[in-house]
Chain A
């Protein structure tokens, strides 16, 4: 059965799109037929991160009846399939929300995993993205505003009957973060399933339009995301040794929540 997983955060700029894109690539490299649906239009950068901008047929065209969903699915790096949004789901709702359900059904048929990059905030479009999925990955940075929004998002997801797989802590800075992993876990009452370091490579990769897991698979960040992907589907993952010694130790430390 296809899994529909929304990556949501509440607060914007915490790395949802980065994680969705890379996780999508990771899952496809494990052989899962993965479709990433971009629902984050205000910051429509999923395509940028995957180096696939400028696609002319978007979800919007599909929903307004001008194209079929097959035309809006593009193949990206690592074999991940991507559906660009084109317009906010809120906008879509006004046009043809019934069609969105049809589209989701179609996407579900064609994939093993449908990943939805949710918009920030808790506006209608964000809620639609949350409600559309059965499962959710919560992304937060180890900072108060982000955690506080994540908490809100979590509670809403609970209300909507969405299973929360866990929280991904992004941009963890060894020794320098506001809250510890344990503290975040305690506050959110959701297990931490991944800790992704704060890594300048992330922005660099985005600028290159190449997902980090492909551009630099040895980096701790890539390893963390690959591991997350593996965990999601119950696969084994052997971290790729980075050239620099000690980084892995740091990563493991990070994953264990040590400081």
Chain B
């Protein structure tokens, strides 16, 4: 995937982070940004928009295959996981330039990753659980920081779906340390610092600006651009000098009810039980649909889907309309041929078979010519005209059945020239 690498807001190793929890947390935070997973020489990305996975790549794999690869890369303890933050408008842009990697709408990586979940993960995967095990000296620091951050944040209300909180706010509430900065490439850190004061205004850049910058600027420009965002989120954790562990706590976000809806707000740990209880309350269907962001299925969509099955076959009313329509279009085009004096066009659709089929019969009155030309080339002219008419019919049919190009093969076309 084409993604400008900036400064990550979190770095960890696979054995230190519970990947499924990380994904869940990003979902809950409605994270905009991406994860990079580096396993040996292989790299993978999952792009997030509002917490949903919208695109993925892993080496030559894309979409869900890539997610599966990334998932299995987690089995390698040395796999590096980095979380990067992006503004949501920028995510749209990244999606735009990475079309081949876009997930099918509604694709859910959660199911794949769920298997990694541990039964007792009421705690957060990264800092609380994993890090202390491997890096005992970081525990007290990260632990404390984390608690402070969480309680300091304003978005700790336990009520499900009632609060709209930008995930960034939580990120912003943390502070950077010098150690982390040293962990990053010089240039990136430098640029980022230069641009730091601008960060407030940068926030207001719109998509066009971003595109422009990205297209014109160097990678480093783009990096710097992102760093503004990443920087905010990267402040916050004391680091053990041992190395690239956690730059900041993506998973600070508390663990609780796991709805995927975009309306979902960030909640804190205490709310877990409470929201669980809330879910037990009988809710009205439309409320539920809204809560989980499930769209009501549109009748037209269903009709379209069923229509696709029929491969273009139609109701009898439709058949007549289409016959007439095609007839007129073909006629009109034929009259556009010089020397055509008249044309009779008949279109018959056969809607009774497995697939739509049809006949097109055309009789053309051609401008009569002098007997000399008739002697010399009329038969050639006729051939030419026939081909021209055939072409017209074919084009009209193709246009008419654009959605079902195969239907076109089921047509029998006859042209008579009188």
Contact = CB atoms under 8 A, between A and B. Distances in A.
B81 to A, nearest CB: 22
A156 B308 CA distance: 12
B114 A198 contact: yes
A98 to B, nearest CB: 7
Given A127-B306, A151-B297, A183 B111 contact: no
Contacts of B308: 123-124, 127
A137 to B, nearest CB: 19
B111 A178 contact: no
Majority SS of interface residues in chain B? Answer: loop
Given A127-B309, A175-B276, A187-B292, A143 B111 contact: yes
A124 B311 CA distance: 9
Contacts of B297: 151-152, 155
6 contacts: A13-B112, A122-B305, A145-B107, A152-B305, A171-B114, A200-B115
Contacts of B372: none
B354 interface: yes
Interface stretch (B182-190, B254-262, B317-325): B254-262
Contact of B293 (A98, A144, A149, A259): A144
A37 to B, nearest CB: 18
A259 B288 contact: no
B285 interface: yes
The 4 closest A-B pairs by CB, nearest first: A145-B108, A145-B106, A127-B309, A144-B260
A244 interface: no
Interface in A105-164: 122-124, 127-128, 131, 141, 143-149, 151-152, 155-156, 159-160
B170 to A, nearest CB: 22
B111 A141 contact: yes
Interface of B: 106-108, 110-112, 114-115, 117, 119, 258-261, 276, 279-280, 282-285, 288-289, 292-295, 297, 301-302, 305-306, 308-309, 311, 354
B221 to A, nearest CB: 37
B288 A178 contact: no
B292 A179 contact: yes
A12 to B, nearest CB: 9
A187 B294 contact: yes
A24 B248 CA distance: 51
B114 A186 contact: no
Given A124-B308, A183-B283, A143 B302 contact: no
B287 to A, nearest CB: 9
Given A141-B111, A144-B108, A148-B106, A183 B309 contact: no
Contacts of B283: 183, 186
Contact of A146 (B111, B285, B302): B111
Majority SS of interface residues in chain A? Answer: helix
A97 interface: yes
Contacts of A156: 302, 305-306
Interface string A172-190: 0101111110110011010
Interface in A6-20: 11, 13-14
A173 B106 contact: no
Given A124-B309, A178-B260, A180-B280, A155 B111 contact: no
Given A11-B106, A178-B110, A259-B280, 5 more contacts: A122-B305, A131-B309, A144-B260, A145-B110, A159-B302
A6 B114 CA distance: 27
Contacts of A147: 292, 294
Contact of A155 (B117, B294, B302): B302
Interface string A83-96: 00000000001000
A128 B258 contact: no
A258 to B, nearest CB: 9
Given A98-B354, A149-B106, A183-B288, A178 B259 contact: yes
Contacts of B295: 148
Nearest to B277: A259
A189 B282 contact: no
Nearest to B119: A176
Contacts of B106: 11, 144-145, 148-149
Given A182-B282, A186-B283, A151 B111 contact: no
Contacts of B276: 175, 259
